[in-house]
Amino acid sequence: MRILLITYDNGSLFHGFPMGLGCIARVLVDRGYDVDVWSQDIHHYPDEDIPLAGYDAVCISVVGGYYQYRKLMSLGAVISGTPGRPLFVIGGHGPSPEPEYFLLRSGADVCVMGEGEGTVGELFDCIAWGRSFAHVKGIAYRVGGDVFVNPRRELLDVDAIGMPAYELFPMEYYRLYRRPRMGPTDFCMQVLSGRGCTFKCNFCYRMDEGFRPRSVEGIVEEVGYLKGEYGITRVAFEDELLMSSVARTEEVCRALAPLGVEWDCNGRLNYAKPDVLKLMRESGCVFINYGIESYDDGALKRMNKGLTTKQITLGIEATLAEGISPGFNIIWGNLGEDEEILGKGVEFLLKYDDGAQRRTIRPVTPYPGSALYYEAIERGLLGGMVGEGAEMKYVEPVEDFYENRHLNSDLLAVNFTGLTDDEFHKALLRANTRLLENYYDKQKAAAIEQAERLYAGDTSFRGFR
């Protein structure tokens, strides 16, 4: 059986390695299937150029963003409109909470819900042998206009997944992926440190409950392989949460220290203690991406963040003091938030931002699968009757979200505040104007300082061209 995996184009110059598809590819290759990758992301091929001829199945995985949704619909239209097309399989965070809608809307035949590594082997064995899908856990499938949703599959042992099938992908391209605090000669690759998170923020749309760490032996083996095979000097742990506890963070640091690579991760300020951060820096950590979300204790409590402004302040100050650059993620518009809370977030960013990244504040988005999504439905903010007069019709919440409301991640999808949509966007414009001016003022000052050093005799600077 021949299977085509699509790495879709998101319009970037450099894309990160498609970790999900890489892991799926490993399962399929190890089962003896013939797997190819269509790298639309690298070459910016038109959607209409998908090379479907000769394949028995084509697979696409997307997360829940507005761009990814529209990209899936566009690619799906091409696949579904091709005579004699292969079986069409979709998966990922995006379709998993609402598989019936995604199947009918995209024209796909099968939706893999949740983690795919434990499902695709059984699924493709059924396809190869012409067996029914009725007993395959973790999928929804379409027969004509009818959709059948099977029970979800049990969670995996993360260590059983194995390394992604790197050999199928153009690694010379993916190692050019850029992260904060990288040098021009560094090569970077994402690595899985675990799956899930110990916290339950109301806006999070992750697929599964709980946290499952990967063994440090497996992490070390993979990082060592990437360093030796592809010259990787920087590792990006971009799964939900490496810093799941103090003990776990220390264990990972001690394992990474001998490898001599720099690395970054997603972290929690609850665990950003000076001794932990010192160990992280000594083991090669140069950047920690923190989910701060708000600088107001009431807002943090309402979103179930499990964090306080005191912990945020102490953690950020300790991170900066250790010479690690922090990533600042703040959103606005969650339950009970107002302009005063937005202002607190702006002042916090202006005080502590070290200029490593251009940071703006985005509106909170109630992605399908999140607690906030179901809150929006309960409040009547998603779904229901839309249109006017004879044109009025009922729209399901998921369709309302993707087709009418979530049109850009920097614009309001659902308004939980007491402001009008226009007032909300004007307040966000004022806030982000201050943050953008601050960022570019720092860039300007740094460039002028660089010029001053050059003309004072610093020959190490190679010029502005």
Per-residue pLDDT reduced to its tens digit, 350-408: 999 888 889 999 999 999 999 999 999 999 999 988 878 888 899 999 999 999 999 99
Strand segments, DSSP code E, in 315-376 are 325-332, 362-363
Neighbour-count burial for 64-83, b at 16+ CB within 10 Å, e otherwise: bbbbbbebbbebbebbeeee
CA–CA separation, 451 and 394 (whole Å): 62
Q: What's 324's DSSP letter?
A: P
Q: What's 48's DSSP letter?
A: G
What amino acid is encoded at 237 in this protein? F
CA–CA separation, 430 and 444 (whole Å): 21
Residue with tokens 């032996």: 217
Q: What's 422's DSSP letter?
A: H
**DSSP three-state, residue 20:** helix
| Per-residue model confidence (pLDDT) at position 187 | 98
CA–CA separation, 174 and 21 (whole Å): 14
Question: How do 362-363 and 325-332 pair as beta strands?
Answer: parallel
**Of the candidates 339, 411, 379, 374, which has an alpha carbon nearest to the alpha carbon of residue 66?**
411
Pick the CATH number of 175-364+419-425 from 3.20.20.70, 3.40.50.300, 3.50.50.60, 2.70.50.60: 3.20.20.70
| Per-residue model confidence (pLDDT) at position 147 | 97
Determine contact, residues 364/334, Cβ cutoff 8 Å. Answer: yes
Q: What's 152's DSSP letter?
A: P
DSSP 3-state percent helix, strand, coil across the chain (nearest 5): 40, 15, 40
| Each residue's pLDDT tens digit, 182-217 | 999 999 999 999 999 989 999 998 767 889 999 999
CA–CA separation, 288 and 241 (whole Å): 10
| Per-residue model confidence (pLDDT) at position 386 | 80
**Of the candidates 328, 330, 335, which has an alpha carbon nearest to the alpha carbon of residue 299?**
335
For the chain, what are the domain ranges?
2-149, 175-364+419-425
Q: Is the dihedral of CA 349, 350, 355, 359 positive or negative?
A: positive
> Structurally, what CATH architecture does the domain formed by 2-149 represent?
3-Layer(aba) Sandwich (3.40)
Residues of the chain with pLDDT under 70: 207
